[in-house]
Amino acid sequence: MNLKFIKKGDIIMIAVIIIAAAVFMLWNNSKTEAVQAVITVDGEVVKTVDLGNIKEKITFIPATEPRVLITAENGKIRFESAECEDKLCVACGNLSKHGDTAVCLPSKTVITVTGSDVDAVVY
């Protein structure tokens, strides 16, 4: 009795599945949609920065008291410095992914990253 566990059709099916998975991964990674940073002061949008199209360092100082310095480069945005006492907004670091947020409460300034750069779907 000569039993073969893997037949020619099985090998072809495995190869087709592997090729389909590779094509899907390449196609999925090539779809990069715009990720933007929205800067609001006291609830009003004052600037929108397209993080995907930054060629050189951008700085922005909104008209707030205390003053804050916001910089964007290499697809990331952050509070560079702040004149407030605790500087928690500066400690947030770089923001680059959809949903990242940094807030400077004394100056009422919020940076929120928006777009569809989502890794998973949450229900």
Q: What is the pLDDT of residue 3?
A: 56
Helix intervals (H) in the chain = 8-30, 88-91
The DSSP output letter for 53 is G
Q: What is the pLDDT of residue 117?
A: 46
Q: What is the pLDDT of residue 25?
A: 80
Q: What is the pLDDT of residue 52?
A: 84
Q: Measure the CA–CA gap between 48 and 37, rounded to whole angstroms.
A: 6
Q: What is the pLDDT of residue 20?
A: 92
Per-residue pLDDT of the chain (123 residues; tens, 9 = 90+): 455 677 888 889 999 999 999 888 877 655 556 789 999 999 999 999 998 888 899 999 999 999 999 999 988 999 999 998 899 999 999 998 888 999 999 999 999 998 764 555 554
Q: What is the pLDDT of residue 29?
A: 58
Q: What is the pLDDT of residue 8?
A: 85
The DSSP output letter for 101 is E
Domains and CATH numbers, the chain: 35-115 (2.60.320.10)
Measured in whole angstroms, the distance separating CA 41 from the mean position of its chain's CA atoms is 21
